[in-house]
């Protein structure tokens, strides 16, 4: 899945930009910065074990 850029799991957050900045400051590596994807905003990070994790914020 990682070779295809597919996230292993996804977590919903209330403020994606704030979480992105907080995690960047902690040294988390993102493979995808926050971006719009339809009616959600997403970002993808590496979990340190080789898995991709997606953070998602609904824009409703």
pTM, two decimal places: 0.87
High-pLDDT (> 70) share of the chain, %: 97
pLDDT exceeds cutoff 70 at 25: yes
pLDDT exceeds cutoff 80 at 34: yes
The separation between the first and the last C-alpha atoms of the chain, rounded to the nearest angstrom, is: 29
pLDDT exceeds cutoff 90 at 35: yes
Give the pLDDT score at 48.
Answer: 86
What is the phi/psi pair of residue 17, to 5°? Answer: -60, -40
Instruction: Give the bridge partners for 17, in sequence order.
Output: none
Mean pLDDT of 5-11: 83
- Assigned token pair, 6: 């597919």
- Helix (H, G, I), strand (E, B), or coil: what is residue 18? helix
The architecture in CATH of the region 2-58 reads Roll (3.10)
């Amino acid at each position: 899945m990682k070779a295809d850029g597919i996230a292993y799991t996804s977590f919903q957050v209330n403020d994606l930009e704030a979480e992105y900045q907080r995690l960047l400051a902690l040294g988390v590596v993102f493979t995808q910065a926050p971006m719009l994807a339809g009616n959600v905003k997403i970002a993808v990070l590496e979990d340190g074990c080789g898995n991709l994790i997606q953070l998602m914020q609904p824009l409703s």
